[in-house]
Amino acid sequence: MAITLLKHKKHKIGLTVLLVLVGIILILAFIVNQYWSPILAKRVKSVVSTSSEGLYTIDFSDAKFHILRGELDIYNITLKPDTAVYNQRLKAHLAPNNLVELHVKRLIISHMHPFMLYFQHKLEIGRIVLSQPELNVSYQQNHLKDTVVKDRRTLYQKISGSLKSIHIGDIILGDVQLKYQDYSGNQLAISELKEMNLSATDMLIDSASQTDKSRLLYCRDIVAELNNYSGRSKNGLYQYKIKSLRLSTKTSRLDIQGLDLKPVKPDVFFKNSEKDRFDVHLDTLRIDHFDYLGYHKYRVINASHMTLNSGSLNLFSNPKFILKITDRERTYPNFGLKEIRADLNIDTIDVKRINVSYTEYNHKSDQTGTIAFNNSSGRILNVTTNKQALVRNNICSVNLTSYFMNRGKLDAQFTFNLTDENLPFTYKGSIGPMDLTVLNPAIMPLGLIKVNNGRLTSFEFDIKADNSVSKGRVALLYNDLKVTVLKADTINDKLKHMTIASLFANVMVLKHDNPDTPGEAPRSFNVNYERPRDYPFFKNIWHTLLTGIKPCVGLDEKMQQDVKNKIADMAIKKQERLVKKEQRKQRRAERKLRRELKKQQKEEAQQH
């Protein structure tokens, strides 16, 4: 059929014309490729050098343009800083904080318009894909704010001599290998990231976009995604993991899924540290209106809102006897916030469904007790280290709702002074009705008391404190309280009952109800508790409240001293009884021995 068609002259002419046109197009493509590649190299190098004011240079080994596909492949790209220019700027105090070096084996530019670039001086590109780029970033804090430069022109104004506009639809960097070197601390900190993807959409540099504040780096949106990131703390005592991280500059939102901070085993941790041990897990962490550019340039963490959703915080108090007593005020939240080197300013933090526990070791019982606050939620306001923000407001406030030992509803309010050297803070709140026997996992090992029966009506507290002393009022209302006094059984590694002491406590000491009778004014206690220097923040709060709880149940200072004296007298009398019993036993043995000697002497006399 095809041969028959070609017999007609007009068909032959048509085919010849088609072949000639294809040939011309291929020749033009070859010529354009050979001619345009040097133009591209020259334009790209000029744009990079001009826009960075000579700080960066770019080079590549080869570029191939496929005119039929509208695609350009560039090979072995290297973007790196000019160290001589950087050192000159460093001496002039104009050097940037970040330096970037980029290596890309292959860059694919698709849907581009070379004739528009050549004739209209407009660079129009549909998509740029960088395959497996290697990105090295180094940070050195050369200044804390934008330096004053003589050339105040925008990037568009700098390139307008050679280009009227640059527009790129999408920029995609897949499987990025990022090495980040931070020189701002006492020692070099190096982080290496894998499984990282970067993308940017609608990059536009022209006369209109140069003042468009909705764009970051002239892009409508920049998205960074990181998966399965993990590492270890500098001291090797913690391992941190992030399942996934996503940052969008368009929404100014940072989303983190699956955040974990796991310590090493307790024996290894406490052997190598005198600090308390933390174990943290968060299902999600979200930061809204996050100023990424400020963080990237100056390590300023500025955000309007943070949400911590579903997780746990477990704190283990260090059990070691510290011969050289050190002040544990470092565990105070307002002290820890001051120690953060970064410029931090977060307006609001919302906490949702977090389980919190505090575990302490008691050397007397040789056991640990845990206090739990389940399903905790709340709001924290004004978390900041920013000097200007602290001048306006130096108080961080916390409102929390939780369930104490997963039973009694706890409502608490804290305030922390963020500037006073004495670290003042306040806390007040209440715990609703609950069965007091649920406290046994905590008070049996920590207080050597077992609650056999009792019902809490309410527990209220209002305390003002600092790093030295806590003062305030504690009120504990309850009914039908009965306890057992315990002591450690070191042989069997358990706690055993002290029968006489328990009887004495229930009959002579404890107030079984508060108030004693309906209608009476309930007992409360004014606390004045001096913090031992080696007591951390949570332990100080626990012992402060315990100082107020004891008098409410009848164990005021006088009664506690009377109990100690009573128990001491009982111990002395018991010892005296044991001594007398032993003496009687010894006398009986002596009498028995004398009888046996007399009997033996009598038998010997009869034999003679």
**Which pLDDT score, from 0 to 100, does residue 500 have?**
46
**Which pLDDT score, from 0 to 100, does residue 166 have?**
86
pLDDT band at 151 (very low <50, low <70, confident <90, very high): low
Q: At residue 31, does pLDDT exceed 50? A: no
**Which pLDDT score, from 0 to 100, does residue 489 have?**
57
Q: At residue 207, does pLDDT exceed 80? A: yes
Q: At residue 237, does pLDDT exceed 60? A: yes
Residue 338 and residue 381 in contact, taking contact as beta carbons nearer than 8 Å: no
CA distance 142 to 547: 51
Whether residue 333 is preceded by a cis peptide bond, meaning omega within 30 degrees of 0, is: no
CA distance 567 to 325: 31
Residue 284 and residue 307 in contact, taking contact as beta carbons nearer than 8 Å: yes
Write the DSSP assignment of 437-498 as a string of letters: GGGHHHHHHHHSEEEEEEEEEEEEEEEEE-SSEEEEEEEEEEEEEEEEEEEEETTTTEEEE-
Q: Between 596 and 44, whose confidence is greater? A: 596
For range 558-583, the mean pLDDT: 70
CA distance 383 to 334: 10
Q: Which two structure tokens, joined as six digits, stand for 76?
A: 């072995």
Q: What is the pLDDT of residues 181-194, one digit of tens each?
A: 887 777 777 778 78
| Residue 380: other Cβ atoms inside 10 A | 21
Q: Which two structure tokens, joined as six digits, stand for 13?
A: 């002419």
For range 479-501, the mean pLDDT: 63
Q: Which two structure tokens, joined as six digits, stand for 479?
A: 């009914």
CA distance 383 to 83: 39
Q: At residue 573, does pLDDT exceed 80? A: no
pLDDT band at 473 (very low <50, low <70, confident <90, very high): very high
**Which pLDDT score, from 0 to 100, does residue 567 have?**
64
> Is residue 213 classed exposed, middle or buried when 0-12, 13-18 and 19+ CB atoms within 10 A define those classes?
exposed
**Which pLDDT score, from 0 to 100, does residue 41 have?**
60
Q: Between 466 and 138, whose confidence is greater? A: 466
**CA distances (Å), 148 to each of 88, 93, 151, 255, in order?**
15, 9, 9, 34
For range 128-141, the mean pLDDT: 84
Alpha-helix residue ranges (DSSP H) falling in 228-332: 266-272, 292-298
For range 68-91, the mean pLDDT: 83
Q: Is 169 left (phi over 0), alpha (psi -120 to 50) or beta?
A: alpha
Q: Which two structure tokens, joined as six digits, stand for 603?
A: 């038998």
CA distance 231 to 261: 10
Residue 415: helix, strand or coil by DSSP? strand
* Among the ranges given (3-12, 40-49, 83-92, 393-402), the one the predictor scored with the smallest mean pLDDT: 3-12
**Which pLDDT score, from 0 to 100, does residue 9 have?**
52
**Which pLDDT score, from 0 to 100, does residue 12 have?**
47
Q: Which two structure tokens, joined as six digits, stand for 471?
A: 């003062």
Percent of the chain with pLDDT over 90: 29
Percent of the chain with pLDDT over 70: 83
For range 418-447, the mean pLDDT: 91
Q: Which two structure tokens, joined as six digits, stand for 2?
A: 């095809």
**Which pLDDT score, from 0 to 100, does residue 285 have?**
96
For range 367-379, the mean pLDDT: 92
Residue 201 and residue 219 in contact, taking contact as beta carbons nearer than 8 Å: yes
* Contacts of the segment 336-342: beta carbons below 8 A, 24+ positions apart: 337/383, 337/385, 337/396, 337/416, 337/418, 338/385, 338/418, 340/385, 341/184, 341/185, 341/299, 342/299, 342/300, 342/301, 342/385
**Cα 293 to the chain's mean position, in Å?**
21
**Which pLDDT score, from 0 to 100, does residue 28 have?**
45
**Which pLDDT score, from 0 to 100, does residue 578 have?**
79
Average pLDDT, the chain: 81
pTM recorded for the entire structure:
0.76
Q: At residue 15, does pLDDT exceed 60? A: no
Q: What is the pLDDT of residues 551-563, one digit of tens each?
A: 887 766 665 556 5
**CA distances (Å), 202 to each of 171, 226, 590, 592, in order?**
9, 22, 107, 109
**Which pLDDT score, from 0 to 100, does residue 22 have?**
47
Q: At residue 508, does pLDDT exceed 70? A: no
Q: At residue 501, does pLDDT exceed 70? A: no
Residue 413 and residue 429 in contact, taking contact as beta carbons nearer than 8 Å: yes
**Which pLDDT score, from 0 to 100, does residue 418 have?**
95
For range 111-130, the mean pLDDT: 81
CA distance 130 to 428: 57
Query: Which residue ranges make up each domain of the chain?
Result: 18-232, 233-555
Q: Looking at mean pLDDT, say which of 33-42, 155-164, 220-229, 461-470 comes out highest.
A: 461-470
pLDDT band at 463 (very low <50, low <70, confident <90, very high): very high
* Among the ranges given (10-24, 306-320, 568-582), the one the predictor scored with the smallest mean pLDDT: 10-24
* Among the ranges given (41-55, 86-100, 252-266, 398-412), the one the predictor scored with the smallest mean pLDDT: 41-55
Q: At residue 355, does pLDDT exceed 90? A: yes
Residue 123 and residue 117 in contact, taking contact as beta carbons nearer than 8 Å: yes
**Which pLDDT score, from 0 to 100, does residue 410 have?**
95
